[in-house]
Amino acid sequence: MRISLVFCCSVALSRGIETTDSEHVRELLASKDFDRLAAKHFINRDDYTHQEWSYFQANFWRHLGEEFHSKQMDAPQLASLLEDAEPIVTKKKTSIFAKSVAAAADDNDDGPSWELSAEQPRFEGWSRRDTKKMMGTFVGDHPKRKDLPEEQTFHMHDKSLYENLPETFDSRDKWSTMCPTIGHIRDQSTCGSCWAFASTEAFNDRYCISHAGNFTKLLSPQHTASCCDAMHCFSFGCSGGNPGLAWSWLTDSGVVSGGDYDDLNHKDTCWPYELPLCSHHVNNTKLPPCKGDSDTPECRDTCLNKGFKTPFEQDLHKGSSSYNIKSQDHIKFQLFTNGPVTAGFTVYEDFITYKSGIYPGPVNDDVKELGGHAVKVVGYGPDYWLIANSWNESWGDKGLFKIKMGVCGIDDQMVAGDILPQSKPRIEEEETIYA
């Protein structure tokens, strides 16, 4: 059984293109009447709650101001803009997703593999376009994707080393007492810097593990996002990047300490994340309004926190190698032996509604693709990867999720590296900043 997912906008937009010429587009936009404009494109207001419709309107006029002048817009552009402005999470879409999940479970004579929820504070009011901008990893056959060479020593190991691995494994259980960074969930804000977060976080954990827990500070994804740039990493800050080349940069150039946005102006870290979480809509009292698109903070060679006394060059933390990991056995072996790894995969709209369980990939062929995303893999089960996301603890299962092995390209872009300490790391007297 298959439930076809047809978004309210998708059918409406194609029909609207046939009936709307450029002159009529200008007249509709000049009216400033969103209800009329939407109705002309067969968008049903009853498919949205009152609040969702309010977000839809606000997103549309905001995106119109970002990109077009009304006199320059044609019918296909208007159709695309309406699709981009739709809230990424709505109760009706989530209900349709849930019905597809239930139908798949019935076909398999099994219970639903995952739970969805329309209550997603991290993405409340966000448009489809806003969400796409967070997908900052070059995956699949993207022309900007650059891979590292495959790690080779695994092939020389005795097969018993990975044949006897536990069926399930969580690196937090093995190392979090000495390396609490492993369980720390971060937030990339509105920036497409997931590639920098996922690489820096996994590097951070492996650095701690390799130093037997003698280094527990958070390292700086801001340093990676800002300085691992087009010249060094074929990466572009908030506009996307390559986790593999970021690992190479971390290994060779090193990264300074740096906590979350809340650690700005603290004396115990060099360069915290500079971008706060913000709200794209006007009715959110918990978050400040976003000030347009997130620009990548400039690269620097001095610490942002002026009270941090260690010189920038002396605060750099480096590795010894970086590589791709190709097979599921190899990935499991790396996780169990050396700690978390970085993964890239393709995100679809239904993934945004994830709450718990094992995400099996898009519920059907009609679900829209949002783009490539990078995450930190912290463990595995019989048929899934356990992953820490960078969308804060309000999303998913307290910031984590499980995804079925092999779906969405998740197995095809796994990267990591080794950290072989040449000297004992400097241990700060100040309190660590992972909590």
Domain match, 53 and 133 both: no
Domain match, 36 and 159 both: no
Q: How far apart are CA 13 and CA 44, in angstroms?
A: 12
Cβ proximity of 238 and 250 under 8 Å: no
Closest CA relative to residue 238, chosen from 221, 262, 253: 221
**């239904």: which residue's tokens?**
350
> Cα dist. 125→54, 58, 211, 273, 370 in Å?
9, 9, 43, 24, 16
65 confidence band (pLDDT: 50, 70, 90): confident
pLDDT above 70 for 229: yes
- Check residues 163 and 321 and name the one with the higher pLDDT: 321
pLDDT above 70 for 7: no
Residues 132-140, mean pLDDT to the nearest whole number: 95
- Check residues 41 and 228 and name the one with the higher pLDDT: 228
- Computed over every residue of the chain, the mean pLDDT equals 88
Residues in the chain: 435
364 confidence band (pLDDT: 50, 70, 90): very high
Q: How far apart are CA 414 and CA 405, in angstroms?
A: 12
- Check residues 18 and 192 and name the one with the higher pLDDT: 192
Cβ proximity of 127 and 88 under 8 Å: yes
Domain match, 368 and 259 both: yes
pLDDT above 50 for 14: no
The pTM of this model reads 0.89
Collapse the DSSP code of 109 into the 3-class scheme (helix H, G, I; strand E, B; otherwise coil) and give the result: coil
Residues 177-205, mean pLDDT to the nearest whole number: 97
- Over residues 249-307, the pLDDT tens digits come to 999 999 999 999 999 999 999 999 999 977 665 555 566 767 656 789 999 999 999 99
Cβ proximity of 352 and 123 under 8 Å: yes
CATH of the domain at 242: 3.90.70.10
Q: Does residue 117 belong to any structural domain of this protein? A: no
- Over residues 73-98, the pLDDT tens digits come to 788 888 899 999 999 999 999 999 99
Domain match, 397 and 248 both: yes
Closest CA relative to residue 349, chosen from 116, 12, 3: 116
Closest CA relative to residue 181, chosen from 383, 22, 18, 339: 339
Residues 231-242, mean pLDDT to the nearest whole number: 94
Tokens of 300: 């620097």
Domain match, 147 and 76 both: no
pLDDT above 60 for 2: no
60 confidence band (pLDDT: 50, 70, 90): very high
DSSP 425: P
Domain match, 267 and 327 both: yes
Enzyme catalytic residues: 194, 373, 389
Where residue 165 falls (left for φ over 0; alpha for ψ -120 to 50; beta otherwise) is beta
Domain match, 355 and 228 both: yes
Domain range for residue 336? 129-418
Cβ proximity of 207 and 399 under 8 Å: no
Q: Does residue 354 belong to any structural domain of this protein? A: yes
Cβ proximity of 232 and 254 under 8 Å: no
Q: Does residue 315 belong to any structural domain of this protein? A: yes
Q: Does residue 306 belong to any structural domain of this protein? A: yes
185 confidence band (pLDDT: 50, 70, 90): very high
Looking at residue 280, what is its pLDDT? 62
Q: How far apart are CA 120 and CA 131, in angstroms?
A: 13
432 confidence band (pLDDT: 50, 70, 90): very low
Residues 334-343, mean pLDDT to the nearest whole number: 97
E-only strand ranges, 194-245: none
Domain match, 82 and 133 both: no
Domain match, 68 and 142 both: no
Give the chain's domain count: 2
Q: Does residue 122 belong to any structural domain of this protein? A: no
Q: How far apart are CA 396 and CA 388, in angstroms?
A: 10
Residue 324: φ, ψ to 5°: -85, 155
Q: How far apart are CA 178 and CA 261, in angstroms?
A: 24
Q: Does residue 36 belong to any structural domain of this protein? A: yes
Domain match, 80 and 144 both: no
Lowest mean pLDDT, pick from 172-176, 211-215, 226-230, 277-281: 277-281
Q: How far apart are CA 227 and CA 353, in angstroms?
A: 33
Amino acid 28 reads L
Looking at residue 106, what is its pLDDT? 79
Looking at residue 159, what is its pLDDT? 74
Looking at residue 433, what is its pLDDT? 42
pLDDT above 70 for 18: no
Domain match, 74 and 146 both: no
Residues 182-192, mean pLDDT to the nearest whole number: 96
Cβ proximity of 357 and 364 under 8 Å: no
Looking at residue 408, what is its pLDDT? 98
The percent of the chain in helix, strand and coil, each rounded to the nearest 5, is 40, 15, 45
Looking at residue 20, what is its pLDDT? 43
15 confidence band (pLDDT: 50, 70, 90): very low
What's the 3-state SS for 2-65?
Answer: CCCCCCHHHHHHHHHHHHCCHHHHHHHHHHCCHHHHHHHCCCCHHHCCHHHHHHHHHHHHHHHH
17 confidence band (pLDDT: 50, 70, 90): very low
Q: Does residue 161 belong to any structural domain of this protein? A: yes
Q: Does residue 94 belong to any structural domain of this protein? A: no
